[in-house]
Structure formats: structure tokens, C-alpha cells
Amino acid sequence: MAHISKPFIAAAICMTLTACGGEPEQETGEVTEVASAAPAPQAVPGKMLFMQCAACHSLDAGGPHKTGPNLHNIVGRQAGAAEGYKYSKAMAAVDKIWTREELDQFLAKPSATVPGNIMAFAGIPDAEKRQQLIDYLETGSQ
């Protein structure tokens, strides 16, 4: 069994709760084990970042729309065009393709990139983290 450090677990819990607006519980001191078949957390850093997105978006092929649209194959897709999802007027009016560069700009501050969109997400100020998330969106959709 592989061991995951307490700081890693605490960070994962905080990231998940940040998306939901909750507060982390006190540390219990218990050791948590995971199956050795699980990838090392460092192997897919964007996957941890996507946990914030997963509260509102799915990434699986054929997955459902949630509060936000399914993001499967988002890189290269027309903005505001996921079939079966009702977009805000602002997002539906956007005339752009979600390239890596467009996603980077949008994820930095969605409200500034598409004024009037209804996504309740402030953005990711760290450029490296945005690139990790975009990498995951690109590879996690395959």
C-alpha cells in the first residue's frame, strides 16, 4: 500500500471544500492508505485542480451536464456549443474556439473574459496551475 502524506490529504480536502464553500475538519492523526495501483499525485497535477471543477462539470465522454456543461474534448470546441446545455446569453454569444490560449485567459478570470457569464468561479491566478489544468482537460478527455 502506498502512503499519502497528511499535508497532501489536507490540501485535497481544502480544494474540494473550497468548491463547495465548506470548512475542513480537524486532523485526526490517522494514517490513510490507498491502493498501490493509484497513480502518484505528482503524476497528474491537473487532476487535483479539476476537483474544483468537478463540482459543476463532468469530463467523461457522454457524461452528463451538471450545473455547468460537460467539458469532454473542450480544447478545440466552439465556446457555448455543448449540445443539450443551456448557456447564459453572454456565453452563447461568444464567437471563439476554446484553444489552450483562450482557456488560459478564461480560467485566469472568467468574469473578465466573458462578461455576463454565470459561472460562479473567480479564476486561477497562477499561470502554471492553469496550464496543468488545461493539460488535464486535454488528456483527461481522451
Query: In order along the chain (142 residues), what is the average pLDDT of each group of 10 residues?
Result: 44 42 42 45 77 95 96 96 95 96 97 94 96 94 76
pTM beyond 0.75: the answer is no
Verify that 95 and 58 share a domain, yes or no. Answer: yes
What total number of domains does the chain contain? 2
- Return phi, psi of residue 103, to 5°: -65, -40
Question: CB of 37 within 8 A of CB of 30?
Answer: no
Distance in angstroms (rounded) separating the CA atoms of residues 138 and 128 = 15
Residue 36 domain boundaries: 1-41
Q: Note whether 22 and 91 are same-domain residues.
A: no
* Residue-level pLDDT at 44: 76
CATH code of the domain in which 69 resides: 1.10.760.10
Indicate whether 48 and 37 sit together in one domain.
Answer: no
- 12 & 76 share domain: no
